C-alpha cells in the first residue's frame, strides 16, 4: 500500500535521497503552476478532466467515477510505462488537493510494483507553504544591487557571475520577463504562482550565503510582484551603478532582443510608450522600426526615453550606499563587480 507524505517530510527526503516529483493533474493545470522540477504525467487530459467534471456537477458523483474509470483503464499501459521511464529510487505523486487523482495513481502504481508516495494536501498545500514562507522569511544575505541604464546587460552580468559561483537572484529569469514594456518579447511570462515557487526555492538555497547579487527591479516584473522582504532587501543594499557607453548598450539590446525576429511585437510595444516621447522623435522611432532600422530606433529610445526615466529613479539612493563603475562592456563590468564584491567579503571576515 502506498504511503502519504507531508511537505516537511518530502523536503527532508528530497535532500537525502533521489526523488522524482510527479504532477498527475492535466497539462493546463501543470502549466499554470507546479512544484519546480516536477514531471507531468496526467491522469486525465484537459478534455477528459472537463468531461468528468461536467458529469460530476450535472449528473452524479457515481457517473463521474464510472467515466473516469473507463478513461483511466484505456490508457493504463501507457500511463504505467511513463512512470517506469523515470529512473529514480523514490517517486512522489500529487494533484490539486491530494485527492482522487493522486490516490488513484499511487494505488495503481503500487499494484504494479512501483512504489510512490502521495503528497498530502497536493499542490494547494505547497502553494500555502510558499506564500507563508515568503511572508515570514528573514532573508539574511547582504544585497549588492545592480543598477544601470537600459542595455548595460545587468541580467547577463548576473548570469556570468553565477557561473563563477557567486550567489545571485535572477528575478527576471524567474518572472521570464525583462521588466519593461518590451520585456516579454520572445518570452512567455510566468504567473505569480510560478514566480513565487521559483523564488522560494532560490532564497532558501541562498539563506546561508554572506551576500547576494540581484538587479534593481521595480515592484512588478511582467505578471509577477516582488514580496515585501525582497523590496526592503533591495532598498537597504549596496547600489552598484553601471555606466556603459550608449553604443555598447545599443548592441547589447539588439543581441538580446533580436527585434528583426519579433518585428510586430516591437511595434506594438513601442506604441504603448510612444505618447510619452516628444512627437518628432517618436515619429522617427516609429519610422525606423517600420523600416527595420533597429539600431537607430533603439538609440533614440534610450536617449529620449529610457535614460531619462533611469536618471530620475537613480536619485532616490543616498551616496553612502552607492558606487558607480565606468566600464566599456559587459566583460569589464563582470570583472569590476567581481572584484568589488570580493573586496567587501574580505573586509567582512
Residues serving a catalytic function are 95
Exposed e or buried b for every residue in 82-120, given b needs 16+ CB within 10 A? ebeeeeeebbbbbbbebeebbbbbbebbeeeebebbbbb
The DSSP secondary-structure symbol of 42 reads: -
In terms of Cα–Cα distance, which of 89, 83, 99 is closest to 40? 83
CA distance 242 to 147: 6
Query: Which stretches of the chain are DSSP H helices?
Result: 7-16, 27-32, 46-58, 61-84, 100-111, 122-136, 154-163, 171-175, 192-206, 228-236, 246-257, 263-273, 279-291, 294-301, 307-314, 330-348
63: left (phi over 0), alpha (psi -120 to 50) or beta: alpha
Q: Is the distance from CB of 145 to CB of 238 less than 8 angstroms?
A: yes
For cell 517618436, the residue is: 282
Grid coordinates belonging to 299? 538609440
How long is the chain? 349
In terms of Cα–Cα distance, which of 76, 70, 79 is closest to 39? 79
Partnered with residue 103 across adjacent β-strands are: none
In terms of Cα–Cα distance, which of 216, 211, 175 is closest to 195? 175
CA distance 259 to 264: 9
Q: Indicate the burial class of 61 (C-beta count within 10 angstroms; 0-12, 13-18, 19 or more).
A: exposed
Amino acid at each position: 500500500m502506498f504511503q502519504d507524505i507531508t511537505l516537511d517530510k518530502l523536503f527532508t527526503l528530497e535532500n537525502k535521497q533521489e526523488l522524482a516529483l510527479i504532477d498527475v493533474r492535466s497539462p493546463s493545470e501543470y502549466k499554470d503552476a507546479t512544484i519546480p522540477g516536477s514531471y507531468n504525467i496526467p491522469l486525465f487530459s484537459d478534455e477528459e478532466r472537463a468531461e468528468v467534471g461536467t458529469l460530476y456537477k450535472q449528473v452524479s458523483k457515481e457517473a463521474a467515477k464510472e467515466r473516469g474509470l473507463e478513461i483511466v483503464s484505456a490508457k493504463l499501459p501507457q500511463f504505467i510505462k511513463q512512470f517506469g521511464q523515470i529512473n529514480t529510487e523514490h517517486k512522489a505523486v500529487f494533484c490539486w488537493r491530494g485527492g482522487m487523482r493522486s490516490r488513484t495513481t499511487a494505488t495503481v502504481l503500487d499494484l504494479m510494483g512501483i512504489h510512490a508516495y502521495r503528497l498530502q494536501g497536493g499542490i494547494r498545500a505547497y502553494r500555502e507553504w510558499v506564500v507563508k514562507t515568503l511572508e515570514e522569511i528573514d532573508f539574511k544575505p547582504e544585497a549588492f544591487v545592480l543598477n544601470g541604464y537600459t542595455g548595460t546587460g545587468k541580467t547577463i552580468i548576473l548570469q556570468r557571475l553565477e557561473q563563477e559561483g557567486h550567489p545571485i537572484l535572477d528575478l527576471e529569469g524567474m518572472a521570464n520577463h525583462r521588466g519593461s514594456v518590451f520585456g516579454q518579447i520572445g518570452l512567455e511570462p510566468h504567473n505569480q504562482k510560478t514566480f513565487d515557487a521559483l523564488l522560494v526555492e532560490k532564497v532558501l538555497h541562498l539563506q546561508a550565503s554572506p551576500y547576494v547579487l540581484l538587479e534593481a527591479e521595480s515592484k512588478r516584473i511582467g505578471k509577477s510582484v516582488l514580496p515585501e522582504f525582497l523590496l526592503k532587501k533591495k532598498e537597504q543594499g549596496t547600489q552598484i551603478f553601471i555606466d556603459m557607453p550608449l553604443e555598447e548598450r545599443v548592441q547589447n539590446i539588439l543581441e538580446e532582443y533580436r527585434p528583426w525576429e519579433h518585428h510586430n511585437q516591437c511595434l506594438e510595444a513601442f506604441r504603448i510608450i510612444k505618447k510619452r516621447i516628444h512627437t518628432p522623435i517618436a515619429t522617427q522611432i516609429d519610422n525606423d522600426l517600420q523600416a527595420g532600422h533597429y539600431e537607430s530606433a533603439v538609440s533614440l529610445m534610450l536617449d529620449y526615453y529610457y535614460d531619462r526615466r533611469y536618471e530620475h529613479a537613480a536619485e532616490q539612493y543616498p551616496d553612502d550606499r552607492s558606487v558607480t563603475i565606468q566600464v566599456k562592456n559587459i566583460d569589464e563590468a563582470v570583472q569590476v563587480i567581481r572584484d568589488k564584491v570580493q573586496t567587501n567579503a574580505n573586509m567582512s571576515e
